[in-house]
Structure 1
Amino acid sequence: MPAARPRLLYVTDLAYQARGRRYCDEDVHLTSRLRERFDLALCHPLDAAALMDGFDAVVVRNSGPVLGYQHAYDAFRARALATGARVYNPLTGKADMAGKQYLLDLTAAGFPVIPTVDRAEDLPLLPPAERYVVKPKLGADSLGLRIVPAGRLGALAGDVLVQPCVDFAYEVSFYFVDDDFQYALYAPDPARRWELRPYPATAADLEFARRFIDWNDLGYGIQRVDACRAPDGGLLLVELEDLNPYLSLDALPEEAVDAFVAAFTASLSRFAQETLSTA
Structure 2
Amino acid sequence: MTARIAIVTTLELAVPDDDETLLLPHLPEAALVAWDDPSVDWSAFDVAILRSTWNYHDRLEDFLAWARAASSATRLLNPVDTVAWNTDKRYLADLAAAGFPVVPTTFVAPGEAVPDDAVVAPGAHLVVKPSVGAGSNGARLFDGEPDEALAHVAALHAQGKVAMLQPYLAEVDEVGETALVYLGGCFSHAARKAAILSRDMSWDTGLYADEKVVPTSATEAERALADRLVAALPGMGHADLAYVRVDLLPTADGPVVLELELTEPSLFLALGEGAPARAAEAFRALL
Relative to the length of structure 2, the TM-score reads 0.76
Structure 1 unaligned segments of length 5 or more: list them: 273-279
Residue 134 of structure 1 corresponds to 128
Q: How does 1:117-266 map to 2 (within 5 A)?
A: 117-119=106-108, 120=113, 122=115, 124=117, 126=119, 130-148=124-142, 149=144, 151-152=146-147, 153-155=149-151, 156-157=153-154, 158=157, 159-168=162-171, 169-187=175-193, 194-217=211-234, 218-230=239-251, 232=252, 234-252=254-272, 256=273, 258=274, 260-266=275-281
Offset of residue 28 of structure 1? 2.2
How many Å separate the matches in 1 of 2:150 and 2:11?
41
Q: Which residue identity is paired with 2:240?
A: G
- Displacement of 1:160: 0.7
How far apart are the structure 2 equivalents of 1:223 and 1:142?
19
Which AA in structure 2 matches 1:34? Answer: L
Cα displacement (A) at 1:59: 1.5
Q: How many residue pairs end up in the alignment? A: 255
SS in 1 for 2:41: helix
Deviations 1:22-74 (A, max 9, x none): 85232122112100xx2x32212202784211111111111213124434412
Matched, 1:63 2:53: yes
Alpha-carbon distance between aligned partners in 1 of 2:217 and 2:181, rounded to the nearest angstrom:
13
CA distance in 2, matches of 1:263, 1:250: 12
The question of whether the paired residues in 1 share the 8 Å contact of 2:33 and 2:40 is answered with no
Moved more, 127-136 or 221-230: 127-136
Alignment of 1:73-88 (within 5 A): 73-81=63-71, 83=72, 85-88=74-77
SS of 2:106's equivalent?
Answer: coil
SS at match of 1:47: coil
Instruction: Identify unmatched segments of 5+ residues in structure 2.
Output: 200-209
Amino acid at match of 1:58: A
Give the direction of change, closer, same or farther, for the CA distance of 1:121–1:49 in structure 2 (3 Å limit).
Answer: farther
Is the partner of 2:37 in helix, strand or coil? helix
Q: Deviations over 1:187-210 (max 9, x none)?
A: 366668832222122332211112
Q: What stretches of structure 1 move > 6 A for 4+ residues in a row?
A: none
What fraction of aligned residue pairs are identical, expressed as a percent?
26
Contact 1:225 1:240 in 2 (8 A): yes
Alpha-carbon offset, residue 185 of structure 1: 1.2
Aligned partners of 2:106 and 2:282: how far apart in 1? Answer: 36
The residue type equivalent to 2:269 in the other structure is L
Relative to 1, partners in 2 of residues 1:123 and 1:135: Cα closer, same or farther, differing over 3 Å?
A: farther
Q: What SS does the corresponding residue of 2:117 show, helix, strand or coil? A: helix
* Shift in CA distance, 48/112, structure 1 to aligned 2, threshold 3 Å: farther
Equivalent residue number for residue 282 of structure 2: 267
Separation in 2 of the partners of 1:201 and 1:41? Answer: 32
Counterpart residue identity of residue 198, structure 1: P
